[in-house]
Amino acid sequence: MTSAPLSRARARARFLQDRVQRVRRRPIGVFARLNALEEEVQEQRQLNRRLAELTDVVAELLVPLAHRDEEWTREAVERYRVDL
Protein backbone atom coordinates (compact mmCIF):
# COMPACT_ATOMS: atom_id res chain seq x y z
CA MET A 1 0.00 0.00 0.00
CA THR A 2 1.48 3.34 -1.03
CA SER A 3 0.44 6.63 0.42
CA ALA A 4 -0.99 9.39 -1.74
CA PRO A 5 1.97 11.78 -1.21
CA LEU A 6 4.42 9.05 -2.20
CA SER A 7 2.36 8.19 -5.29
CA ARG A 8 2.23 11.86 -6.25
CA ALA A 9 5.98 12.16 -5.73
CA ARG A 10 6.62 9.16 -7.97
CA ALA A 11 4.30 10.52 -10.65
CA ARG A 12 6.02 13.90 -10.44
CA ALA A 13 9.43 12.24 -10.71
CA ARG A 14 8.33 10.38 -13.86
CA PHE A 15 6.96 13.63 -15.29
CA LEU A 16 10.23 15.44 -14.58
CA GLN A 17 12.26 12.61 -16.06
CA ASP A 18 10.18 12.81 -19.25
CA ARG A 19 10.72 16.58 -19.36
CA VAL A 20 14.47 16.16 -19.04
CA GLN A 21 14.43 13.64 -21.90
CA ARG A 22 12.48 16.07 -24.08
CA VAL A 23 14.92 18.86 -23.27
CA ARG A 24 17.85 16.66 -24.22
CA ARG A 25 16.30 15.86 -27.61
CA ARG A 26 15.72 19.51 -28.50
CA PRO A 27 18.51 21.22 -30.41
CA ILE A 28 18.90 24.17 -28.06
CA GLY A 29 21.89 26.06 -26.79
CA VAL A 30 23.99 25.08 -23.83
CA PHE A 31 22.76 27.97 -21.70
CA ALA A 32 19.10 27.12 -22.32
CA ARG A 33 19.76 23.47 -21.44
CA LEU A 34 21.63 24.53 -18.32
CA ASN A 35 18.76 26.78 -17.28
CA ALA A 36 16.23 23.99 -17.83
CA LEU A 37 18.32 21.56 -15.80
CA GLU A 38 18.73 24.08 -12.97
CA GLU A 39 14.95 24.44 -12.84
CA GLU A 40 14.56 20.67 -12.68
CA VAL A 41 17.11 20.43 -9.87
CA GLN A 42 15.24 23.10 -7.90
CA GLU A 43 11.97 21.20 -8.30
CA GLN A 44 13.67 18.01 -7.12
CA ARG A 45 15.04 19.82 -4.08
CA GLN A 46 11.56 21.01 -3.18
CA LEU A 47 10.16 17.49 -3.57
CA ASN A 48 12.97 16.02 -1.49
CA ARG A 49 12.39 18.59 1.24
CA ARG A 50 8.67 17.86 1.28
CA LEU A 51 9.34 14.12 1.47
CA ALA A 52 11.76 14.68 4.36
CA GLU A 53 9.14 16.76 6.19
CA LEU A 54 6.56 14.03 5.67
CA THR A 55 9.00 11.41 6.94
CA ASP A 56 9.64 13.52 10.05
CA VAL A 57 5.92 13.81 10.74
CA VAL A 58 5.44 10.06 10.40
CA ALA A 59 8.37 9.41 12.73
CA GLU A 60 6.96 11.91 15.25
CA LEU A 61 3.59 10.20 15.11
CA LEU A 62 4.83 6.65 15.50
CA VAL A 63 6.65 7.19 18.78
CA PRO A 64 3.73 8.86 20.62
CA LEU A 65 1.27 6.31 19.25
CA ALA A 66 3.31 3.58 20.88
CA HIS A 67 2.98 5.45 24.20
CA ARG A 68 -0.68 6.38 23.54
CA ASP A 69 -0.16 10.12 23.98
CA GLU A 70 -3.27 11.12 22.05
CA GLU A 71 -3.09 14.83 22.88
CA TRP A 72 0.44 15.12 21.52
CA THR A 73 -0.58 13.10 18.45
CA ARG A 74 -3.47 15.46 17.72
CA GLU A 75 -1.15 18.46 18.07
CA ALA A 76 1.42 16.91 15.70
CA VAL A 77 -1.23 16.19 13.08
CA GLU A 78 -2.59 19.72 13.41
CA ARG A 79 0.91 21.23 13.01
CA TYR A 80 1.38 19.16 9.87
CA ARG A 81 -1.95 20.31 8.43
CA VAL A 82 -1.10 23.94 9.14
CA ASP A 83 2.26 23.54 7.38
CA LEU A 84 0.56 22.26 4.23
* Domain boundaries, given as residue ranges, for the chain: 4-83
Residues in the chain: 84
Report pLDDT for 1: 46
Per-residue model confidence as pLDDT tens digits over 1-58: 456 777 888 888 888 888 877 766 666 678 888 888 999 999 999 999 989 888 888 8
Contact between 51 and 9 under an 8 Å Cβ cutoff? The reply is: yes
Best CA proximity match to 77, nearest among 27, 67, 60, 40: 60
Report pLDDT for 40: 92
pLDDT (mean) for 65-73:
70
In whole angstroms, what is the distance from residue 19 CA to residue 11 CA?
A: 12
Contact between 33 and 23 under an 8 Å Cβ cutoff? The reply is: yes
